[in-house]
Amino acid sequence: MSIIRREDIRNIAIIAHVDHGKTTLVDGMLRQSGAFRENQEVQERVMDSGDIERERGITILSKNTAITYKGVKINIVDTPGHADFGGEVERVLKMVNGVILLVDAFEGTMPQTKFVLKKALDLDLPVIVCINKIDRAEARPEEVVDETLELMMDLDASDEQLDCPFLYASAREGTCVRNLEDEPVDLKPLFETILDYIPAPEGDPERGTQILISTIDYNEYVGRIGIGKVDNGSIAVGQEIIRVNFHDPSVREKTRITKLYEFDGLKKVDVQRAEIGSIVAISGIGDLQIGDTICTPGDDEAIPFQKISEPTIAMNFIVNDSPLAGREGKYCTSRQIRERLFRELNTDVSLRVEDTENTDTFRVSGRGELHLSVLIERMRREGYEFAVSKAEVILRKDEKGRTEEPYEIAYVDVPQDFAGTVISMLSERKGELQGMSTLADGTARLEFEIPSRGLIGFHGPFLTTTRGTGVLNTIFDAYGPWKGELSYRKNGSLIAFEDGDAVTYGLFAAQERGALFIGPGTKVYAGMVVGESARPEDIELNVCKTKHLTNTRSSSADEALTLTPPRIMSLEQALDFIDTDELLEVTPESLRIRKKILDSRLRKRANFGK
């Protein structure tokens, strides 16, 4: 056995809380390493390649890139910061030999900072701490360094991990310094620290091939592409290999490598051979899964792979059966929806899809509301039409048979004026206040332990109450005892009781009963929710009602009816709003809220039985 170190390679992941600047930092590293031509037009946050990622300013899928500095190839993995995509972070850390932890110089350590850092420390990876956004007016870098060290101690970091380098950066400006007094010029101190502090990958070149597949990419032309690091041996095009899996001994498939790629800047480059420490992409293996190990036949030892955290939230995806079904979507059948959901499992390791007793209903489980809403939005843009139910938490039984539910730690930053109201809102949802502090700018930070159920549908009312100034961050804590029934909404729904087109006269009468979601000319059907009632109970009304024409004209007959503009909801707001007896009808063109039971009499009968 002869272990060698590849001094010409470094493999790193950039980890951080959402919106602390990971993708912007990678932009700067790519630019300053010469990955782009001088005159090349490059959009900002170039690593966020998906439409949804660019619109929301979040990273959903981890991305691979590589730069060269002083003859050393630095493979960089840009990871998501949002806990809902934690499955992505957990698995890519197996590919790297160290991490750059990015912390906002004002916000400090946040829930997802703790989440991603714990994953890295558990794998015994060395950490470079980079305090970002030091050019912000309210930056407090010295305090944030202390907070980060405290967090590392809380997470039982080893002495070596605690003795880590601290850098200060402005990713937006593309500068980094070792000391705050230094003059910021470029990102050179960061590159130098990576070479000095992150260990070079090592392995045994004389052993058979061993590559753990940590990420799956998908391409319509070549199918599934597995990405992983060469741990031992080497790999070459045309080589015969066997696919095995540590958790599933039944996986034993022999095949050949048809295509091999390495990363260079934002491109995949064809290579004939790759050695220890290289991060490679492999295509041509049909059923390749995350967690599979690619080995040489006869020396087929699978690499252990940590179990990905289980989903905590589920919702039903249902074939749309409303009176307007099939008019706006390209793919509407149960076969098409099922095929698309199971295809998502190719790349999303944290998702679960199950068939149910009803062939038109599929149960989809994920890590949080954002995780599932991104999937819904993606399917909608691809032309799918379907309905989804209210998200619900996944319950389980403890050893004594008692029901347990998932709990989250919620960190809420709000102006002092709203603190009392927010405490009372979260307490109503079974939350318990664990701590309260005041930040440097006078904002109140509240820490709550709350059942995950209590946070479903909370974001909309929270933003309304705090007038858009509140910031809510949550992280899964543990399973705990069931806290009893919970009501999601104080107000009922306004429900249309006939099919047709909404008219101004009918809407004018309806708006006195609550807030409308539709305007004149909107197609409606019996059982469709057209607004939020001002009272706790549901109200049925006729929004298609026209004014009766008579022979006599009243003095006010010609006065124009003034309608309040309707409340147009985003996908997240609609998912937040729907109650347990309602569905959200999703099409490429529309979002409609409806009752599960459209017929008014059948609905009353069902409610009477409760």
The Cα–Cα gap between 10 and 198 comes to: 7
- Range in 1-5, 165-169, 528-532 with the lowest mean pLDDT: 1-5
Reported as a pLDDT band with limits 50, 70 and 90, residue 359 is: very high
Q: Which helix (H) or strand (E) holds 31?
A: helix 22-32
- In CATH terms, the fold of domain 313-389 is Alpha-Beta Plaits (3.30.70)
Is residue 455 within 8 A of residue 474, CB to CB? The reply is: yes
Q: Is 393 helix (H, G, I), strand (E, B) or coil?
A: strand
Closest CA to 274 of 209, 340, 221, 333: 209
Q: What share of the chain in percent tops pLDDT 70?
A: 87
Do the beta carbons of residue 226 and residue 281 sit within 8 Å?
yes
Judged on CB neighbours under 10 Å (0-12, 13-18, 19+), 546 is exposed
Pairing of strands 210-219, 223-232: antiparallel
In this predicted model, what pLDDT tens digit does every residue of 261-282 receive, in sequence order? 888 876 778 888 888 888 888 8
| Cα–Cα distance for residue pair 95/229, rounded to 1 Å | 5
> Model confidence over 477-530: pLDDT tens digits?
889 999 888 877 788 999 998 899 999 888 988 888 999 999 898 999 999 999
Model confidence at 307, pLDDT cuts 50, 70, 90, reads low
The closest of 408, 403, 472 to 444, measured between CA atoms, is 472
Hey, do 204-295 and 396-481 end up sharing a CATH topology, with the first three levels equal? no
CA distances from 231 to 136, 202, 235, 299, 335 (A): 41, 7, 10, 13, 40
Of the candidate CATH numbers 2.40.50.250, 3.30.70.20, 3.40.640.10, 1.10.10.10, the domain formed by 493-608 belongs to 2.40.50.250
**What confidence tier does 555 reach under pLDDT thresholds 50, 70, 90?**
very low
Topology of domain 4-200 in CATH is Rossmann fold (3.40.50)
User: Over the stretch 383-424, which tens digit does the pLDDT of each residue have?
Assistant: 999 999 998 899 988 888 899 999 988 888 888 888 899 999
Q: Where are the alpha helices (DSSP H) in 289-381?
A: 334-344, 369-381
Spatial distance between the Cα atoms of 58 and 22, rounded to a whole number of angstroms: 10
Q: Is 472 helix (H, G, I), strand (E, B) or coil?
A: strand
Report d(CA 140, CA 581) in Å as an integer. 48
Q: Would you list the domain boundaries of the chain? A: 4-200, 204-295, 313-389, 396-481, 493-608
Q: How far is CA 607 from CA 525, 576, 602, 603, in A?
A: 20, 22, 9, 6
> What was the pLDDT predicted at 25?
80
Interacting residues of 485 by C-beta distance below 8 A, sequence separation 6+: none
Domain 204-295 has CATH 2.40.30.10: yes
**Whole-prediction pTM:** 0.73
Does the domain at residues 396-481 carry the CATH identifier 3.30.450.20? no
pLDDT in tens, 573-607: 898 889 889 999 999 999 999 999 998 888 888 87
Give the residue with greater pLDDT, 166 vs 247: 166
